[in-house]
Structure 1
Amino acid sequence: MGRAAATAVSALCLIIGTTPAAYSEDDRGRDDRRDGRDRIERHVTGKILRADYDGYSDDLLTAGLGAAGLAGPAPQAANPSSPTTEELRRIAIYNNYRALVDVSAGGGYGTLYGPLVGAGEKAQERDGKIPGTEYLALLDGDDGGNSRITVAVQIPDSFRPDKPCMVTATSSGSRGVYGAIGTAGEWGLKKGCAVVYNDKGTGTGFFDLENGKSYTVQGEHVEASGSSKPLNFQPRIQQRELDRYLEDSPDRWAIKHAHSRENPEADWGTDTLRSVQLGFHLLNRHFAGDKGFRRITPENTVVIASSVSNGGAAALRAAEEDRRGWIDGVAVSEPNVNPKRDRSFKIQQGNGPALAEHGRPLYDYISFYTLYEGCAAAVPGNTRALQVCTDLKARGLLNEGTPAEAQKLIQDYGIVPEQNALAAFYWSANVYQSVTVAYANAYSKASVTDNLCGFSYAFADATDRPAPLPRTNAELAFAQSNGVPPTIGIQLIRNGVSTTTVGGAAAPMADVDGAACLRSLWTAGDRDHQRRGGGGKSPARRLAKGVEEVLATANLRGKPAVIVHGRADALIAVNHSSRSYYGSALRQKQNIRYYEVTNAHHLDAFNALPAFAAAYVPLHVYFNEGLDYLYDHLTKGDALPPSQVVHTVPRETGVPAPPAITRDNVPPIAKKPRKEDRITFRESVLRIPN
């Protein structure tokens, strides 16, 4: 299929029944217009698919792998060039679970958390497999554009219609629909709650521009022009424009989170609320034929908005937007929330200086990291990082061009010292760079053909030249990708920049020109936006406007909320996210608690590495505790513990591995914390104990 296929398919195709062994079309109740206070059906594109799982051969939580299988080798497709939808689902659940949870021996899996921990006797017999029904749907946005949302609603067999509960599990990062299955998903299913997942307009929204191919709601890799099923994503590009672009930039990919031209983050709260509405609609359809069935409504159901990272921010935003009582409470971990600027208070950790410039948006501090962290992390012998120092000095961005100077700039930007240990790792792994490029495009609503700051996405061959993505990579993208490159072999490309090879493109880790361009989008756009009131056509001004669209109010409309965050989080800075949001919520007299955990960072999965295992504890333990406390508060009236710093004890080094973690390493959130551990707010200062 040639380039002309890229814009040929209609957005109004219907999903038809596929893989009858797993999913089937579910048409029951399509004429029922009473489910929910809004008619969520009008947002459904195509058929709602249904699959029933017995809890033995397959299930909701582990896709038939069980607790042991999640900790074991990755499942494989029988034919990687043509995987079935069942195989795609199983591999996707395996990878998404392990992306956020450390499943290594001794790390807490199976003792402190996991499918078997706190589960009943039957779950033990099934190795943590949970029987039930899963519905899968694709929702359209209000404008019928690219903001398509994949939603899955899981109803475990243990769900009680007479005592209903529901948990949201909006995906973390840019992951697909199962991106929160190991966090909010597992907690909700083990509690007997319905779980509503959504990918918030990110997910595996990839489009092969060269060949006109994309993905369905079940992850099938299809030709856009010939698909009878609606696509997860299709960029809006005029054919002439696309042809010109591909002549200069062949084999490129458009990425939904970056290139939908709709700033999907602006709708994360709305997406989560619509998932809840669809959840009620499907619950009532599911149990409609039961004897004595009473309609399940927001009034008789406990609904908790939850998830981690980007999904956590979506939960908070949903609670802020919820004016009609869909949500009862919020429990989130390490939320990537961008609070509106509130300079009415300062943040002080221990006896350190009080920080007034807190609550900087993600793009502000991530682009700052992208520019300066390479130099800050430079050590003798690291020529690439040391070159960053030299280049920054040559540009006048550093005076001395030393790592110490760069590090001080970063710390003065409100980055706590505990984040520094992991920042070098994130920079070397291209995390900051990839996040900055994706969000620069998303916030400015850039087209893939804009080549914003000279960046694009493509597979790179052995000479660093863009090349066609191998077929197996493309076919397994739904199951193996994290939503934003680098992933499944698609790399972040800096057009025209070469590495030590003779290629015409390269991964941009040490590229100061690209980093400076990305940073200037913020510094120029923020100034223009404040001075001129927004608008305008320049990418910088569009970016500033896009960031304003995602700012959170911290007004939760009285809903009780729990936030858990690791102090050593080197991705989502505590001073600019959770701490600032919490303080602003307190200023508005919200019922909110904040638990900050020492020696915990953003991605527990890295704790499987010996160096991480010795120094860090699983934040996931405290996410589960936060959910438990909120649930008991909502169902029993138990008081939420006061806000506090939880001091943990690292496992430290051992031979051949660190000793197995125990509860001594991760003491519980205290119902009555010591005075010296309490987080307080007095005289317009939010005080965080060391």
Structure 2
Amino acid sequence: MTTNGFDGDVRESVHCAGDDLLSAALGLDGLRGKPPAFADAAAPTPQELRRRAIHASWNGIADLGPLGGYGRVYGAVPDVPGREYQAFARVPGARSPHRVLLQAPDAFDARARCLVVAASSGSRGVYGAIALAGAWALPRGCAVAYTDKGTGPGYFDLDGDTGVALDGTRVARGAAPLEFEPARAADARGVAIKHAHSGDNPEADWGRHVLQAARFGLAMLDRAYPAQAPFTPANTRVIVTGLSNGAGAALQAAGLDAEGLVDGVVALAPNVHVEGARPLYDVASEAAQLLPCALTDARYDATPFARIDGAVPPAWLARCAHLRERGLVDGADRVAQARSAIERLRAGGWDERAIETAASSTRFDLWRAIAATYAASYLRATPATMPCGFHYAAVDAHGRVVPADAAMRAAWWSDASGIPPGAGVQLLGGIDASSADPTASGIDCLRGLWSGDGAAARALRAAVAATAVKLPRAGLPLVVIHGEDDGLLPEAFHSRAYVAALEAAARAPVYWRVPHAQHFEAFLALPGFGDRYVPLLPYGHAALDALWSHLAEGMPMPHARRFATTPRGTGSLERAALGLGR
């Protein structure tokens, strides 16, 4: 352990001709194409891994499809040469590190010294905010500091005892500092996931991760531009931004920033837990349980992903009967049971727009994947002690559990989202194969960890309580943005609750509400889904523009507003649909 909370060395790399900061020289066309290939699939180089990780991060959080308007209506991917500085950092008391990275453009604007700090969205790796923070900051001469906030795709292969080194390559335990290294366990098998098995409750430290990334960024700016050193909060503007979990981390950082390190915050669709409001685990475990039945109602017949070839998924029909047997919905038939499920969701704060959009998350089984990972994290589980019988393992093309081969392991760091399934790793367990609704038993168990009275449920609720946000200092410039159709992090439970807490404390946040915007930007490229929605990223870029004008030019902060948006329809997105004006 070195001083300042950084583990081992800082890795410096140069990215210029053929390998820039923003897209690894892929450009917009390359980002829209297939993932870049590895020359040797079993042993990709650090440069190849970085390029593919950047490709995956862009495509994971931005709509780059031909109808989405990126590069034409909003956004751009110019070539930005520069250097990167990367390290493993550790907040006090943490067992596992988080990865921090500074991107320092060659065209850094020395007259308007700017550092943008961003945590990854979801559980993604360190480049997981590049389409928001990097795309806005780097072309204007700002540096960007990123953190994976203690999550990320640094999966550990328990069969081969290998993990991810600082350069993204795989090495054996003990050969180098690793992004994630679980404790040794006899007969350990399968795959250990950093978010689930770090031994920490990383979500409770997301704000500290962001502040540590900011300090790392300032220190690395001294290395990148020694003639302009020192870089301090007094002479360098520090803006914190993020999307989804990254936005929640930004708001946590604002609440912990006792030293005035942060000059302003832009948070898009934040996963923010306000004391007294419903947190993500409560909402996600409820959604996993009730939404399959609710979505069988005829009102969702035309909803994207609510039907398979025009028919209700059979397991969803079985869910209604299962819930009725457990006394969780009323009604003598499936129609009445579906309506009862909807009524329960509405009574808990869900609105109709969120329920409808959540059909996509339900169809893709995201609620179960999220709840299983978060439950393990909150309970500080090992790979062998995950709650409800869940575990992770590599699977082959037929779904059979196998030891991960070299090519699969090598691509985890670049390709995985941080929460399986994906990249050849599957969530297993919690299944009753004899049931018409095989996932119901595992989901009931996950829900019971929130609603139950046992020791595990009490420990989980205490861990969730530790993630509650503190309010930022009075006067901190702050913009919160949320899509009104968000079906993963419904506005009512997150942004609206946070803004209400600020207003109750006599603060004046800027709250931008975006009708016809949902959570998953990348889903907008899916047929029939993007027709109904507008992207959220343009509002993040616009808010960063407004915040910068306020900080650098003394312009007033923008007003709170609700935008006049129009669904894209079957054609290409046009500027007028966003309601942003010129």
Q: Considering the TM-score relative to the shorter chain, is it more than 0.5? A: yes
Secondary structure at the counterpart of residue 512 of structure 2: strand
| Equivalent position amino acid for 2:181 in 1 | Q
2:260 pairs with 1:325: yes
Q: CA deviation at 1:491?
A: 1.0
Contact 2:191 2:392 in 1 (8 A): yes
Q: Name the residue aligned to 1:642.
A: 559
Query: Which has the higher relative contact order, 1 or 2, with Cα contacts under 8 A spaced 6 or more apart?
Result: 2
Instruction: Tell me the distance in 1 between the aligned counterparts of 2:138 and 2:104.
Output: 8
Secondary structure at the counterpart of residue 664 of structure 1: helix
Instruction: Tell me the distance in 2 between the aligned counterparts of 1:427 and 1:177.
Output: 27
Structure 1 unmatched ranges of 5 or more: 1-11, 13-39, 117-127, 342-358, 501-507, 529-537, 653-657, 671-690
Q: CA deviation at 1:205?
A: 2.7
Q: CA deviation at 1:463?
A: 6.0
Q: CA deviation at 1:510?
A: 4.8
2:120 pairs with 1:171: yes
TM-score normalised by structure 2 residue count = 0.93
Q: Which has the larger radius of gyration?
A: 1
User: How large is the Cα RMSD of the aligned pairs?
Assistant: 2.0
Contact 1:53 1:59 in 2 (8 A): yes
Instruction: Tell me the distance in 1 between the aligned counterparts of 2:456 and 2:36.
Output: 43
Q: Name the residue aligned to 2:494.
A: 577
Q: CA deviation at 1:451?
A: 3.1
Q: Name the residue aligned to 2:278.
A: 360
Q: 1:109 to 1:462 in 2, by over 3 A?
A: closer
Instruction: Tell me the distance in 1 between the aligned counterparts of 2:568 and 2:4.
Output: 52
Secondary structure at the counterpart of residue 29 of structure 2: helix
Correspondence for 2:95 among 130, 139, 145? 145
Secondary structure at the counterpart of residue 452 of structure 2: helix
Instruction: Tell me the distance in 1 between the aligned counterparts of 2:522 and 2:426.
Output: 22
Q: 1:311 to 1:408 in 2, by over 3 A?
A: same
Q: Name the residue aligned to 1:133.
A: 83
Contact 1:445 1:542 in 2 (8 A): no
| Equivalent position amino acid for 1:519 in 2 | R
Question: Per-residue CA shift, 1:410-444, capped at 9, x if unaligned?
Answer: 12211121112221221110111111111111112
Q: 1:95 to 1:155 in 2, by over 3 A?
A: same
Q: Name the residue aligned to 1:667.
A: 579
2:293 pairs with 1:375: yes
Q: 1:589 to 1:381 in 2, by over 3 A?
A: closer
Q: CA deviation at 1:556?
A: 3.9
Secondary structure at the counterpart of residue 553 of structure 1: coil
Secondary structure at the counterpart of residue 596 of structure 1: strand
2:1 pairs with 1:66: no
| Equivalent position amino acid for 1:192 in 2 | G
| Equivalent position amino acid for 1:47 in 2 | D
Secondary structure at the counterpart of residue 87 of structure 2: strand
Q: CA deviation at 1:313?
A: 0.7
Contact 1:269 1:318 in 2 (8 A): yes
Contact 2:431 2:440 in 1 (8 A): no
Secondary structure at the counterpart of residue 591 of structure 1: coil
Contact 1:319 1:557 in 2 (8 A): no
Q: 1:462 to 1:89 in 2, by over 3 A?
A: closer
Correspondence for 1:260 among 194, 198, 202? 198
Q: 1:281 to 1:461 in 2, by over 3 A?
A: closer
2:64 pairs with 1:103: yes
Q: 1:294 to 1:382 in 2, by over 3 A?
A: closer
Correspondence for 2:9 among 40, 43, 47? 47
Instruction: Tell me the distance in 1 between the aligned counterparts of 2:6 and 2:386.
Output: 33
Instruction: Tell me the distance in 1 between the aligned counterparts of 2:57 and 2:369.
Output: 19
Instruction: Tell me the distance in 2 between the aligned counterparts of 1:456 and 1:294.
Output: 48
Structure 2 unmatched ranges of 5 or more: 298-310
Instruction: Tell me the distance in 1 between the aligned counterparts of 2:430 and 2:498.
Output: 38
| Equivalent position amino acid for 1:43 in 2 | G
Contact 2:207 2:251 in 1 (8 A): yes
Instruction: Tell me the distance in 1 between the aligned counterparts of 2:417 and 2:540.
Output: 21
Contact 2:379 2:459 in 1 (8 A): yes
2:248 pairs with 1:301: no
Secondary structure at the counterpart of residue 476 of structure 1: helix
Q: CA deviation at 1:173?
A: 0.5
Contact 1:646 1:669 in 2 (8 A): no
Secondary structure at the counterpart of residue 7 of structure 2: coil
Q: Name the residue aligned to 1:385.
A: 316
Aligned residue pairs, count: 565
2:547 pairs with 1:622: no
| Equivalent position amino acid for 2:110 in 1 | P
Q: 1:381 to 1:560 in 2, by over 3 A?
A: closer
Instruction: Tell me the distance in 1 between the aligned counterparts of 2:396 and 2:49.
Output: 26
Question: Per-residue CA shift, 1:597-649, capped at 9, x if unaligned?
Answer: 01110111111123122111111111111111111111122222221211211
Q: CA deviation at 1:509?
A: 7.9
Q: 1:620 to 1:386 in 2, by over 3 A?
A: same
Give aligned-pair identity as a percent: 35
Secondary structure at the counterpart of residue 181 of structure 2: coil
2:160 pairs with 1:232: no
Secondary structure at the counterpart of residue 577 of structure 2: coil
Q: Name the residue aligned to 1:588.
A: 505
Q: Name the residue aligned to 1:429.
A: 364
Instruction: Tell me the distance in 2 between the aligned counterparts of 1:211 and 1:157.
Output: 40
2:220 pairs with 1:282: yes
Instruction: Tell me the distance in 2 between the aligned counterparts of 1:173 and 1:496.
Output: 25
